[in-house]
Amino acid sequence: MVAPREPKQDRSRATRQRLLEATIESLAEQGWGPTTVGHVAERAGVSRGATQHHFPTREDLITAALDYMFDTRMGDAVAEEGDLPTGAERTEAVVARLVEYYTGPMFKAALQVWTAASSDPDLRARVLPLEDKFGRAAHRTAVRHLGVDDADPRTHRLVQATLDLARGLGLADVLSDDSRRRGEIVKAWAAVLDASLPLPTAAS
């Protein structure tokens, strides 16, 4: 019996996803320079022609990969919310989870693009809206996980400081394993938040 053929739309979607994931992996492992359309196509097992059908230029491919990466990371954050502990251990767990966002391969891939965009005005114009989108989503995630009222200006600043701290720790981890010091900082900052933030609100 002949197996039914995969619908063309599904094949196209699967090809696109392979290309995006290969782009992220290449950026994280090899950096900006080697992550060309041809290299990504070869890595994904897709012809160059098919790759350029989906993404006509390198910039199209890179920015689409960033958008996919951000959406995937935020989707994971929502799914992982139920795994967070309740009670006294929650704040430290939330801070540790936020720091993980900035120390994993996805952040390392994004960092390669941000660095390239700093000297490329056209790429920067593409990347800035994505960075703004990710920043807003990360802030909303932190607020939801901490269970605090972001309308309070002081709370808003503390949540943003937490994200800034997480980004800084992610940068420190790029060149060497900073996990031991990072764990101590996470614990100390969680204590600051527990002492400074209002009591968490009930989850909606």
Per residue in 157-174, pLDDT tens? 999 999 999 999 888 888
Q: Tens digits of per-residue pLDDT, 105-142?
A: 888 888 899 999 999 999 999 999 988 888 898 899 99
Name the pTM for this structure: 0.79
CA dist 12 to 16, 46, 62, 67, Å?
Answer: 6, 11, 18, 18
Contact 130, 136 (CB under 8 A): no
> Domain 59-196 is in which class?
mainly alpha
Q: With beta carbons less than 8 A apart as the criterion, state whether 194 and 87 touch.
A: no
Give tens-digit pLDDT for 58-95.
999 999 998 998 888 777 777 777 788 888 899 999 99
Closest CA to 47 of 55, 174, 98: 55
